[in-house]
Structure 1
């Protein structure tokens, strides 16, 4: 019989600037350093967003248009839901409740860190847990 499961958070894998450069060379998407910097800024090196950028580039063939679309507001709610599910944020009910609170509270509007913590704390009833949820970085993924 196995022991209790660990409750340690899992940090999502992300590309740093160097590994992003290797990815860009493999998929032959980005040829200039400024575009590579912009791609990293818009995706944070998150593999799911990198895959989205690659699919858009294959579809459009224009990196500038891909970068514009990544920077613009998201219009495809199903794709956004797939991204959120892919990050694993819905696997644990506590962070999931926090993220739903953020979505309800801000609806794509402007926010600051304290406002985010407050919205999550009001939803789950625990400020320390709210800070943990926000500081895991997954809130950044969802609010990007």
Structure 2
């Protein structure tokens, strides 16, 4: 007999899912992290909801939302309300300049759910800015900058990874640009 339970949690339940991500507790549970949209999945979403069909609009939508489901949902609601994809894109662009909206988004993304996560993110931003890095470099930067043990730095990075703060290109990581801009505005 197989049993399954699906539990969706957010950053406010960090204590619940952190041990699952880092393997610090022996359990048969396996976390599945929901991902941001990439260009391909965003195209599929746009076709399914019949919005943002033109290639340039779809590219702009990806640039303005970073694929974050919260922002893609906002674009969907605005499109339904306004029925004007160009106006939706103009409004989404305001996130990068609106201090209040940037703070709300950075908070919703979970970077500030825990002081160690926030400190780890700031350390990565300070060390790598908009450059690329690998997993081991992230651990080293967070451990040294935050004066943490390596295991604690691994936990911080695993949680930040689950929160989708990184863009990946093979083994190379980069701080996701939209979130990085909003975090910069937040501080």
Which residue of 2 is the match for residue 51 of structure 1?
A: 73
Give yes or no for contact 1:99–1:142 (8 Å, CA) kept in 2: no
Q: 1:93 to 1:11 in 2, by over 3 A?
A: farther
1:26-37 to 2 correspondence within 5 Å? Answer: 26-37=48-59
Mark the runs of 5 or more structure 1 residues left unpaired by the alignment: 106-110
Give the TM-score taking structure 1 as reference length: 0.60
Give the TM-score taking structure 2 as reference length: 0.49
Aligned counterparts of 1:100 and 1:56: Cα–Cα separation in 2: 32
Cα deviation code 1:78-113 (max 9, x no counterpart):
x444422332222232122355789xx9xxxxx755
Higher percent of residues as strand:
2
Q: 1:12 to 1:92 in 2, by over 3 A?
A: farther
Aligned counterparts of 1:60 and 1:74: Cα–Cα separation in 2: 21
Count of residues in correspondence between the two structures = 131
Mark the runs of 5 or more structure 2 residues left unpaired by the alignment: 1-17, 23-31, 133-137, 166-174, 182-187
Which residue of 1 is the match for residue 38 of structure 2?
A: 16
Higher relative contact order, chain-length normalized (CA < 8 Å, sep 6+): 2
